[in-house]
Structure 1
């Protein structure tokens, strides 16, 4: 048997090429460091003849497709129904146009970043995020009577808090001083260190230093985020962000606190949801909060924090010939009430009203009641939850409001609760998955690695009686029904594909370790030259892929394998040695 079957690899050629270990962007490339953080900065203005129009894109050599430019234009202005005067901040997300050339080094650096970042914070290749700072103020010098302009940061990184904080620093200054100011800011960002998970980064801009720590996938779940400490040599004192991405969950959910578990289930199952809110700020923050509610599980469906009728996917999402897709849409235009009345779940938010000293909680209502433009706030759905409501959590949060507990603490309580709920759901799946791995002793250096056993839903369900969520969660309810529904979702599919890839790499790394310890020279003694050359070529390929993909095999072992390969080559005739050393 061929000891290293060529059909078994450590990933395809494209994966290997993408896995180059580039820890930081090549600073010699133009705008390399800048593009590790941002694709570009856009200025969108209102033109009397054209409507919304891009006034400026920086850096100047950025190539956006016409479709991307149109989407950015419409998504960067609040809907006319929002009536946003003054300054407004919100977020959007749009599809990346296929076939567009990428400037800078982000695509080389992306695997180094994505390899170390939690799966929920990885850089996206199929979507772009837009972080918007919109200003609308009365201005007699303009024909329309209003100054209307948006400064937009376009990025592949889901760092809402970091980029919105950055906009708070640069946008007011930009609206006063215009283009030269923007050029200076972009040059400053181009000096930043790359976004490195696990490190506290100091990011200077316009005389301010923003200090933030990007989480690492090695962080212990449930720990409080590490708050960066001010360094003495930083003047002025840094602006410290507790997180680059986390929303204020309590603020976002304060009128739906009693329904948080229902919303968690809808997110877990990838159900189609529309969030209707009075402003793009509220709808975009709520959508991002909903997506993060299933963390550390990656939300694998589509989501649009802010969506308008001009969006290129509008027809796709509003067709009535098929079931609504798995997507969360954040909208402000009342027109959508009629358009989306056939969707199964609609969250209608208003301005938060108080009932005494507590925020008034919206009710769950029947979809049939969603008819008029002045529909009252509520969750319009026929969904019945699988799990029983946790009254202890709700009482704790409501008591916190009465005792004037700080918002950050309330958010931390809510985040920890949702994290523990998600972990209780995922741990049995992880435990079952571990049982599908081949035994380490079954891995031989002279055979192809053994296969990972296939996932059987029924076999998994059979494990729940003794190793189910009841071991870590006090919640009662139909956990089995929830798992069965989860198996039909994009989130299960995405989770399983990711874990299967990780498990395959683990088997390959174990196989490589066994090979490193084997006596290759002894194996070659009764083999033909053709077999030995074939072995050497395959070993070299495995070695190269292992280094590119950072499989976790110790460098010391890889160096030992290199020496073994060299020893085997030395045992061959000189002409073959010359040929193999050349290639």
Structure 2
């Protein structure tokens, strides 16, 4: 048996984290006095630190990619049952275990034998929990919004095997290997399953433990980096997308392959599906589906298998990129799900969610939903498959429902016939599916960008001018988003400037304003703008001549300013702030500035530099002088001071 998490034999890896000694300890006195009030202020107790771990937690590298691996089997008495969770000490709630068990098997009878792969997404239960991986915030700051690590949901990536086995009482071997993660890397994890699942079904638990230990040696996913991930004698080579990537840029197909023998398995994308294959039966209706997703409409995808169901739902949620789909979605949903009653009740409107189902029972229980997409098996052939038709909801039959889009929705925009012609021509010319997918993805990207760019221009105009930011006043407020004012801008700066499609763009925007996607977009942009304002305000403070300001100020006014700065610095996410501050602000310290000395004492736990480390046991004064000497300083203006020695560390926030 493999080692359980936390055993001493598990290699720790990584350097020890810096110690908990406080710079500018409460007992240290700065040169010069500033009156009794200032002395009392300087002697104030510093904000306590969070206890720092002595070393990285076991399985921290594994947890950067996966939360756990589950094995689900079929028990004659219990039905689906959890056979194994690895690492052994990972705690799933009973509700989560039950959900994973049901979601790891097909929900309806399938006589097909062999292997099946699909995905699901489930809500975490039991509240927030600790994780071995501690860099969620840094990853999410740098990753695209569509690839951020989930905080309240798990993704499950399933490899299900069903084969005849006379040694089993039921006559069949039925088992699923499930990778549970909070990362939406569907391509990477399904490719990983193709490597490890067949081997696991032959060699069972020892194989799984070996694979998990290999994953625990992988580097963490860092946006913008190309990584080599060795497993079972194969090196998977991937690039982690970054927020600064140009939208729609072609994935890197050839990486540095020096010293990699045998040649690596290169994945062009960790998350993008074959969009053309997924949308083949609904190509002529892609624009309608894009509108429904943009508006956050409730959609049911009825499919013959979990594979088709999950791929279609994931394809739908991806068609809004780079805009983040802010509603809920379930690539595969069963009648045993804990939200089943919530979604099937007729006493309230369906929630804003896209749900994929396979059980025919849902045709009856979800027929009150406004948009139902019924699809058959996805097949890649030389001809365009028969396109489904848009039908009225009243034609939805309980039995033998034919493929189609059952809805009464009327599109706001006209169809792009040029796109359909290009894709049809590609089929006739045997154009590769990945090229067809690239054409389709480019079309959807340009459509989304044409819709979002006017919103981006308008919200940018709500930002206060930089000259309105002064060091001694609170930063100005962002002006409110007024829908009527925005609509007036569309006449001369609307989507028609970048998109040839005609239609009721104004009506589409009005509906969009009522959707969760607008709310999510606005909250994210407002948060980013607020952080930018805070950074500009701190920049103004850094560049201000504080000595001149202090000349005619009373002691009470000075102390009041110090307290306000302390409150601002402690409450602001310092690591995020770092990315906004210019290089010039990392230079220069005037030791004679009395206010700086006071702030040093107030922010006694605030030493933070990316160019130096604070070693355990080193005195705060030695650490400060060492870090200062390692940085190239320019001569500051009289009265200026260095705010970086004042910004609280991540541990104190």
TM norm. shorter chain > 0.5: yes
Shifted more, 519-528 versus 169-178: the winner is: 519-528
Distance 1:450 1:101 in 2: 37
Match of 2:80 in 1: 52
SS in 2 for 1:351: coil
Match of 1:489 in 2: 515
Q: 1:469 to 1:435 in 2, by over 3 A?
A: same
Q: Does 1:289 align with 2:294?
A: no
Contact 2:513 2:519 in 1 (8 A): yes
CA positional deviation for 1:440: 0.8
Distance 2:566 2:494 in 1: 44
Q: Does 1:509 align with 2:509?
A: no
CA positional deviation for 1:542: 4.0
SS in 2 for 1:80: coil
Contact 2:157 2:190 in 1 (8 A): yes
CA positional deviation for 1:570: 6.8
Q: Does 1:264 align with 2:294?
A: no
Contact 1:213 1:228 in 2 (8 A): no
Contact 1:213 1:227 in 2 (8 A): no
CA positional deviation for 1:513: 1.1
Distance 1:353 1:225 in 2: 25
Q: 1:571 to 1:400 in 2, by over 3 A?
A: closer
1:218-233 alignment runs, 5 A limit: 218-233=244-259
CA positional deviation for 1:100: 4.8
Gaps of at least 5 residues in structure 2 are: 1-48, 607-653
CA positional deviation for 1:101: 2.5
SS in 2 for 1:255: helix
1:329-408 alignment runs, 5 A limit: 329-352=355-378, 357-408=383-434
Q: 1:259 to 1:536 in 2, by over 3 A?
A: same
Match of 1:10 in 2: none
CA positional deviation for 1:577: 8.7
Q: 1:578 to 1:251 in 2, by over 3 A?
A: closer
Deviations 1:509-534 (A, max 9, x none): 11111111101122122223333233
Distance 1:353 1:569 in 2: 71
Out of 214, 232, 240, the position equivalent to 1:188 is 214
Distance 1:86 1:281 in 2: 13
Q: Does 1:37 align with 2:65?
A: yes
Q: 1:462 to 1:66 in 2, by over 3 A?
A: same
TM-score by length of 1: 0.91
Match of 2:580 in 1: 553
Match of 1:451 in 2: 477
TM-score by length of 2: 0.82
Match of 2:130 in 1: 102
Distance 2:256 2:112 in 1: 36
Distance 1:528 1:456 in 2: 43
Deviations 1:27-76 (A, max 9, x none): 73111011111110000000111100100000000000011000000000
CA positional deviation for 1:556: 4.2
Distance 2:302 2:345 in 1: 19
CA positional deviation for 1:223: 1.2
Deviations 1:375-396 (A, max 9, x none): 1100101110000000000011
Distance 2:229 2:309 in 1: 29
1:22-421 alignment runs, 5 A limit: 28-105=56-133, 108-352=134-378, 357-421=383-447
Distance 1:164 1:393 in 2: 30
CA positional deviation for 1:350: 1.0
Deviations 1:107-160 (A, max 9, x none): x30011000000010001011100000000000000000000000000000000
SS in 2 for 1:136: strand
CA positional deviation for 1:559: 3.9
- Higher helix proportion: 1
CA positional deviation for 1:228: 4.3
Deviations 1:190-246 (A, max 9, x none): 110001000001111110110000110000112111234141211211100011100
Distance 1:422 1:580 in 2: 45
Distance 2:162 2:380 in 1: 29
Aligned-residue CA RMSD in angstroms? 2.3
Q: 1:94 to 1:524 in 2, by over 3 A?
A: same
1:456-495 alignment runs, 5 A limit: 456-495=482-521
Deviations 1:537-580 (A, max 9, x none): 4434544535332452336455458x3587234787xxx99788
Distance 2:168 2:582 in 1: 65
Q: 1:183 to 1:570 in 2, by over 3 A?
A: closer
Contact 2:60 2:132 in 1 (8 A): yes
Q: 1:580 to 1:212 in 2, by over 3 A?
A: closer
SS in 1 for 2:338: coil
Distance 1:111 1:396 in 2: 42
Shifted more, 515-524 versus 416-425: the winner is: 515-524
Deviations 1:419-456 (A, max 9, x none): 00000000000000011000111111111101100000
SS in 2 for 1:333: coil
Distance 2:380 2:102 in 1: 34
Contact 1:27 1:33 in 2 (8 A): no
Q: Does 1:535 align with 2:578?
A: no
Deviations 1:249-279 (A, max 9, x none): 0000001000000000000000000001111
Distance 1:242 1:310 in 2: 36
Distance 2:232 2:404 in 1: 43
SS in 2 for 1:223: coil
Match of 2:625 in 1: none
Distance 1:410 1:468 in 2: 29
SS in 2 for 1:358: coil
Gaps of at least 5 residues in structure 1 are: 1-16
Distance 2:111 2:389 in 1: 26
SS in 2 for 1:254: helix
